[in-house]
Amino acid sequence: RAAGGADARVTKRAMTRAPVFRVGGIVEAEAVVEWVRDHEAGLASAAESTTSHGELVEITPYAVGDSVFLRFGYDTKDAMGMNMATIATREACDVVESETPAELVALSGNLCTDKKPAAINAVEGRGRSVVADVRIPNDVVEERLHATPEAVAELNTRKNLVGSAKAGGLGFNAQAANVVAAAFLATGQDAAQVVEGSNAITTIDAREDELYASVSLASLEVGTVGGGTKLPTQAEALSLLGVRGGGSPPGSNADTLAEVIAAGALAGELSLLGALASRHLSSAHEELGR
């Protein structure tokens, strides 16, 4: 607040489902992939016939030996959209099976990828991809975080970027999952999808007069209708945020919820980085008993 607030924007919307098909070999796989690319409009028509809100926005094919994966991505508006995507994809799969030699093995082939750590979600996104950033004057950084901008920036590089890379991590952040988990429980989201929600990259840049900080969450799966959002306490939390139910235009409420969570994650990143840079982390835990 002392820095004037943060900005946040959803950059992509695509809830995914990726069925796996059996084919005779790579020659047949190539033919199926080409057919899919040539008939995306027809597959979209079939998929969208099952929903009054969802929109098919992408189909990405992958061939692996005698397996073909089709990663369908949907704009599911204000719903988190897993059920919507699953039902719509089943309809599209019927068309693929009837028009090509491909045989459906499973409606989910794990390239989606749901509730499991996966690089594809970190790179291509799943649900909503959202970025939050803030510019904090140097004096505010030192007053509130008790560390210099340069110290915070160096810490972020060595911990969140170098350390995470050395560990082979998918999350290049300090604690984004803490905020994502709290928000998911409070607003009725699928708690197991915190796995994907923690795919976040935190960047820090010490500029001449300010500290620039951002967090980019690649695969935040949230909705404001359906599922746990109808529970009394969770519905009340969504109402307090002004995002309960469907938005106008459709999708705007879920966008806002994603942006609120991203801004919260950014605040959490700065808080922990400040505590580490000022060497207050252990003493704070000792004094507060947390």
28 and 149 within one domain? no
CA–CA distance, 179 with 188 (Å, rounded to integer): 14
Q: Is 137 helix (H, G, I), strand (E, B) or coil?
A: strand
The verdict on residue 204 lying in a domain is yes
143 and 88 within one domain? no
187 and 141 within one domain? yes
CA–CA distance, 194 with 117 (Å, rounded to integer): 10
88 and 24 within one domain? yes
- CATH code: domain of residue 173: 3.90.770.10
pLDDT tens digit string along 65-97? 999 999 999 999 999 999 999 999 999 999 999
The verdict on residue 133 lying in a domain is yes
The verdict on residue 115 lying in a domain is no
98 and 174 within one domain? no
Six-digit token pair at 71?
A: 């990663």
pTM value? 0.94
The verdict on residue 59 lying in a domain is yes
The verdict on residue 205 lying in a domain is yes
Domain final residue pick, 76, 106, 136: 106
133 and 99 within one domain? no
Domain final residue pick, 74, 106, 138: 106
Residue 104, judged by CB atoms within 10 A of its CB (0-12, 13-18, 19+), counts as middle
155 and 48 within one domain? no
Mean pLDDT, residues 141-167 taken together:
97
Domain around 212: 127-288
Six-digit token pair at 188?
A: 């009725």
Q: Which residues fall within 8 angstroms of residue 265, CB to CB, at 6 or more apart?
A: 132, 173, 176, 179, 180, 200, 215, 217
The verdict on residue 282 lying in a domain is yes
90 and 140 within one domain? no
142 and 83 within one domain? no
Nearest to 254 by CA among 169, 130, 144: 130
The number of folded domains in the chain is 2
258 and 224 within one domain? yes
Task: Give pLDDT, residue 285.
Answer: 52
The verdict on residue 2 lying in a domain is no
Task: Give pLDDT, residue 4.
Answer: 84
Give the pLDDT band (50/70/90) at residue 2.
Answer: confident
Domain final residue pick, 42, 73, 106: 106
- CATH code: domain of residue 99: 3.30.70.420
Q: Is 235 helix (H, G, I), strand (E, B) or coil?
A: helix
The verdict on residue 9 lying in a domain is no
Six-digit token pair at 52?
A: 């009054």
pLDDT tens digit string along 191-203? 999 999 999 999 9
pLDDT tens digit string along 227-273? 999 999 999 999 999 999 999 999 999 999 999 999 999 999 999 99
